[in-house]
């Protein structure tokens, strides 16, 4: 199983491909608030562990693991996540199971549906570390990337690189004749003329595992996490509450399994206190046949999956 995970004997492993076009993607230009002031510099708020993909073509999984480490640090949770496990989960859904490498959208989908497994812990723990929603950075400009870092703190990216162009921490675009590859990293800060990123080639590369790129070198793709579920919420038994029936899909309920077609409030009663705001696409199970009209909508009781 996963024969393509056999360690590759080359110095600059890269195996990130542009995600297939999907018109359902949420774009940052559609949801980002109007920014009055963008800081000239944004430092990284945390001292993150630099990961090491150790020659495997699993940069997408390790970039996702590093990004999740940052998001958990915001909750005062110090966890290192298993990038190889994330990559293996991506290979189950990306449609190219026999080809080394995967897509950034695949790791975001795994983080949303399965979570991230902490290193040295059982797979069942991944459920505690999920994200709720994500968006594609658009327009893909140097200024827009700085804007989303300032607002959302961390950005997942894919670059086209070359061995020669990534010899130092200050990376450059490939030049004519240089062999190229795709590589995933995450960016969590910027300085005056450079955006800063964290790599997964150990602390022996670049600036103790970190690198810099300027406005002349842009990623081919970038994503932000819109919702990161609080770990303490996901560590308790599944939430139950009331939601508006018209926004559950499929409209004909099959086996009581439904999805939210838009973000909805989960309430402790049909018009009661809000327990949580559930993102679009959240999976639920209807747990009662009772339907109650309240606030202009038919409402049913569900359990959040």
Domain ranges of the chain: 3-228, 237-304
Asked if 196 and 210 touch (Cβ cutoff 8 Å), the reply is yes
Give the global pTM.
0.75
Residue 254 neighbours by CB under 8 Å, 6+ apart: none
Rounded Cα gap, residues 195 and 138, in angstroms: 17
Residue 23 neighbours by CB under 8 Å, 6+ apart: none
Q: Please identify, in words, the CATH class of the domain defined by 3-228.
A: alpha beta
Note the pLDDT tens digit of each residue in 158-207: 999 999 999 999 999 999 999 999 999 999 999 999 999 999 999 999 99
Exposure string over 231-244, b if 16+ CB within 10 A, otherwise e? beeeeeeebbbbbb
Percent of the chain with pLDDT over 70: 91
Start-to-end CA span in the chain (Å): 29
Distances in whole angstroms, Cα of residue 225 to Cα of each of 32, 80, 194, 240, 258: 12, 18, 22, 25, 23
Note the pLDDT tens digit of each residue in 248-289: 887 655 556 788 888 888 999 999 988 888 887 888 888 888
Rounded Cα gap, residues 189 and 39, in angstroms: 11
Rounded Cα gap, residues 221 and 16, in angstroms: 10
Check pLDDT > 70 for residue 2: no
Note the pLDDT tens digit of each residue in 113-126: 999 999 999 998 99
């Amino acid at each position: 199983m996963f024969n393509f995970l056999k360690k590759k004997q080359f110095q600059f492993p890269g195996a990130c491909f542009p995600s297939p076009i999907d018109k359902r993607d949420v774009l940052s230009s559609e949801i980002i608030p109007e920014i009055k002031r963008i800081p000239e510099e944004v430092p990284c708020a945390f001292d993150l562990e630099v990961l090491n993909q150790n020659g495997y073509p699993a940069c997408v999984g390790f970039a996702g693991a590093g990004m999740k480490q940052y998001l958990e640090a915001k909750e005062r949770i110090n966890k290192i996540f298993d990038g190889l496990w994330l990559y293996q989960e991506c290979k189950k859904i990306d449609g190219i199971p026999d080809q080394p490498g995967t897509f950034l959208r695949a790791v975001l989908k795994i983080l949303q549906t399965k979570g991230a497994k902490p290193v040295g812990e059982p797979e069942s723990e991944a459920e505690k570390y999920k994200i709720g929603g994500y968006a594609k950075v658009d327009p893909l400009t140097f200024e827009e990337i700085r804007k989303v870092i300032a607002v959302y703190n961390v950005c997942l990216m894919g670059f086209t690189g070359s061995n020669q162009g990534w010899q130092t921490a200050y990376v450059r675009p490939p030049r004519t004749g240089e062999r190229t590859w795709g590589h995933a990293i995450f960016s969590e800060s910027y300085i005056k003329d450079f955006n800063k990123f964290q790599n997964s080639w150990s602390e022996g590369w670049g600036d103790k595992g970190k690198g810099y790129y300027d406005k002349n070198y842009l990623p081919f793709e970038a994503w932000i996490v819109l919702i990161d579920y609080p770990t303490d919420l996901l560590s308790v038994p599944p939430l139950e509450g009331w939601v508006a029936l018209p926004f559950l899909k499929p409209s004909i309920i099959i086996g009581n399994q439904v999805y939210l077609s838009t973000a909805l409030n989960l309430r402790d009663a049909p018009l009661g206190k809000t327990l949580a705001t559930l993102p679009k696409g959240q999976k639920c199970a209807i747990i009662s046949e009772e339907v109650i009209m309240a606030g202009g909508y038919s409402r049913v009781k569900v359990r959040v999956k």
